[in-house]
Structure 1
Amino acid sequence: MRSRTRSLLAVALIAAAALAGCSRAAETPAPQQAAAGPAAELRLGYFPNITHAPALIGDAKGFFAQELGSTKLTSQQFNAGPEEVAALLGGSLDAGFIGSSPAINAFAKSNGQAVRLVAGSTSGGAQLVTKPDITSPEQLKGKIVATPQAGNTQDVALKKWLKDNKLEIGEGPDKVTVQNLDNPRTLDLYKSGGIAGGWLPEPWSSRLVDAGAKVLVDEKSLWPNGQFPTTVLIVRTEYLQQHPDTIEALLRGEQKAIDFATKDPAGAKTATNDAIKKFTGSSLAPTVLDRAFTELSFSSDPLAATFPQLSKDSVTAGAQPKEANLSGFVDLTILNKVRQAAGQPAVDAAGLDKQG
């Protein structure tokens, strides 16, 4: 009888421990995956925009493929960040060059679990361009202004700027209508008089300028030293943990692309323009290409210190209900290893690599 009692007690203790373990598992992040060596495939997303030039160059010039070796590179193109976030969170994409606001959104939507920011790519290259007769914020009342997609980086920037200038978003003579359009559609509507302008990434802001638009706001003017992250690189957390060697190879390829763009601007323009033609069916005019490249700078530094402000801007713009807790969002361990090997200084995670 005593033996049976001990047995029942042991079973009860084991069951209680199991239940406690389940409860703790629900409250804490999933355990880190063990590294499994290079991946068989890397599914990489980016946009056919000049703001994604390092990705376009890295793919077109073979820098990614060279570094990835036996890992198959499968690339996919997107029009705007929210689409790419859906692919990352849905598990159909492993890594993506993406705007800063959707990157924050991907992290917040997954309660800080699904993605990590591992590198920068591009700074600058976004402007509010409008019809030439619009010279002040107030003149946008009753007008339609385009952005690529609701919640994307330029959409957040426009809506935050409108609120800062006490302009109400909506329809009517005293409000500004924000319309989300694919970038080629924005250009067509501007030419036909259907919209007053747009807050757009390169090369689309330059394309509207080429069509007669003027710059009302250069986003550089809104940031200290004119620097803000237009494009960064995020990776699914599980993929990063399982295949750090593959991500290191990807970052080496990106560094090669950035070095190429810095040392050979003419070659970078050609490679980028050829890639844009491949994906969109049309190349950029030389004037548009030249102007767009002067608006941008390329670096693997993600400018991590700007992300708390970017998170606040998403709330101001109505894209997010509350500021994201960015603890653990940034992981620059592999990037700084790659930068050191390339003779570049380490970059700072601004404390966002720490778990809160």
Structure 2
Amino acid sequence: MPGQLRLTPYEGVSSRVQREHPTRLVPGHWGDLMPGIEVNREVSADLKKMLIPISLMVIASLAVSCGGDDHKETTSATTRAAGASPNEFPDLGPVTLHLGYFANVTHAVPLVGLNNGIFAQELGANVTIDPKTFNAGPDVITAIFAGELDASYLGQSPAVNGYVQSDGHDVRIVSGAASGGAALVVKPEITEPAQLSGKRIASPQLGNTQDIALRNWLKQNGVPAEENGGDVKVIPTANADALTAFKNGDLDGGWAPEPWATRLVQEGGGHILVDEKTLWPNGQFATTVLIVRTNFLNDHPDTVQKLISANVKTVQWIKQHTEEAKTLVNQQIEAVTSKALPKAVIDAAFPNVEFTYDPIQSSVETAAKQAYDLGLLQDNPDLADLFSLDILNIVLAKQGLTAVSR
């Protein structure tokens, strides 16, 4: 296996970008998080032309595959007849891929894939991977807008916000990575929603996926946050700091992703009041998705296809090698934080997350509506162009996997 990649914690947008693109306020409470940077607004016509013959292959393959095993030979023939043999984008030459992710169990796909060599193998010698770690999604979007990231794993709510802040142009969700793995953990004496009145509850960052989930749940249960007319103090706090504050009695709870939810229980003495998967149909919701900067998708579709292929293969590998995956995740968490998780923590946290390349589009749309209802988005967004799943379905077809649809 290749050695671990050098991991670079993200330290914010460069002074040059801040100087040339001062932060602008935009409608909604998230506005002060986003730099006002104009980027290419559409997926290029050239990329669309490149996708047409390959998409025809996927459609033809899916149409035949519905008939069952008797049509395997027909499927193969139809694929060839559809002119889909160029199911690889042409290699456009050397490129550096600036890739973001978090040191969380919900980001096991990049943590594993960067560690066991799947990403390096799939991306190939022409792609230099520059990994950067983050605490929460809004910082990722800031870096995307600044052109300092090309792709990133993050939660669904910041992905939606980046799309909205750029008028639907600068961000595309190209795959899923994880579902589940988030919970509201509180002090033992808090056993029902009404007891949260006046309490201090952490979320990882204003506008991130858990922040929206927390605020929506509080509102739905009659104990809204102060910003929504109630008296619950929602305090955006980095996950590590939230654990310390919870143990010290400075916080009464937190809505956190894994492994932090488990750590709040095991190390902080809390208990789970809400497992977020109980709030969603079939217990499935997008916790982690893979986004790509639209300009990068236009300019380097070959690299994006390789990245998505690495993502899909890593998801499959994790499902088949759970114990090894836990070890690799813990190695990467230690590389980022200088401290590995106790075995009891990662053993308890890992089963709470379902790893999937499906971005679970319906859950993203629901979360966007929740953000709108909370007043965090001025308009109810149309997310029709947020999802760019053609390349994902090309990759899935090549690997003999079922296509993803809404």
User: TM-score scaled by structure 1?
Assistant: 0.87
Q: Distance in 2 between matches of 1:282 and 1:329?
A: 36
CA contact (8 A) 2:160 2:368 kept: yes
Q: Write the letter of the residue equivalent to 2:110.
A: A
Q: How does 1:72-87 map to 2 (within 5 A)?
A: 72-87=128-143
Q: Distance in 1 between matches of 2:348 and 2:379?
A: 37
CA contact (8 A) 2:215 2:224 kept: no
Q: Distance in 2 between matches of 1:155 and 1:143?
A: 15
SS in 2 for 1:175: coil
Q: Write the letter of the residue equivalent to 1:123.
A: S
Q: Which residue of 2 aligns with 1:226?
A: 283
Q: Write the letter of the residue equivalent to 2:116.
A: K
Q: Which residue of 1 aligns with 2:123?
A: 68
Q: Which residue of 2 aligns with 1:328?
A: 385
Q: Which residue of 2 aligns with 1:210?
A: 266
By how many angstroms is 1:38 displaced?
4.5
SS in 2 for 1:188: helix
Structure 1 runs of 4+ with >6 Å offset: none
By how many angstroms is 1:34 displaced?
4.1
Provide, for residues 304-352 of structure 1, a one-character-per-residue CA deviation record: whole Å limited to 9, x for no partner.
122221111112233222221112111111111111222210010x3xx
Q: How does 1:116-135 map to 2 (within 5 A)?
A: 116-135=172-191
Q: Distance in 2 between matches of 1:42 and 1:135?
A: 46
Q: Distance in 1 between matches of 2:373 and 2:348?
A: 31
Q: How does 1:15-54 map to 2 (within 5 A)?
A: 29-30=41-42, 32=44, 34=46, 37-54=92-109
Q: Distance in 2 between matches of 1:108 and 1:56?
A: 28
Note if 1:293 corresponds to 2:305.
Answer: no
Q: Distance in 1 between matches of 2:370 and 2:393?
A: 28
Provide, for residues 16-47 of structure 1, a one-character-per-residue CA deviation record: whole Å limited to 9, x for no partner.
xxxxxxxxxx9x95571646825511110000
- Cα distance, 1:316–1:115 mapped onto 2, change above 3 Å: same
Q: Write the letter of the residue equivalent to 1:47.
A: F
Number of equivalenced pairs: 321
SS in 1 for 2:340: coil
- Structure 1: gaps of 5 or more residues: 1-25, 351-356
2:201 pairs with one of 138, 145, 150: 145
Q: Which residue of 2 aligns with 1:18?
A: none
Q: Distance in 1 between matches of 2:237 and 2:94?
A: 36
CA contact (8 A) 2:43 2:297 kept: no
Larger Rg: 1
Identity %: 43
By how many angstroms is 1:129 displaced?
0.4
- Structure 2: gaps of 5 or more residues: 1-37, 48-90
CA contact (8 A) 2:43 2:298 kept: no
Q: Distance in 1 between matches of 2:172 and 2:93?
A: 18
By how many angstroms is 1:99 displaced?
0.2
Note if 1:281 corresponds to 2:338.
Answer: yes
Q: Distance in 2 between matches of 1:91 and 1:33?
A: 22
Provide, for residues 76-133 of structure 1, a one-character-per-residue CA deviation record: whole Å limited to 9, x for no partner.
0000000000001111100010100000001111111101110000000000000111
Q: Distance in 2 between matches of 1:319 and 1:80?
A: 17
SS in 2 for 1:168: coil
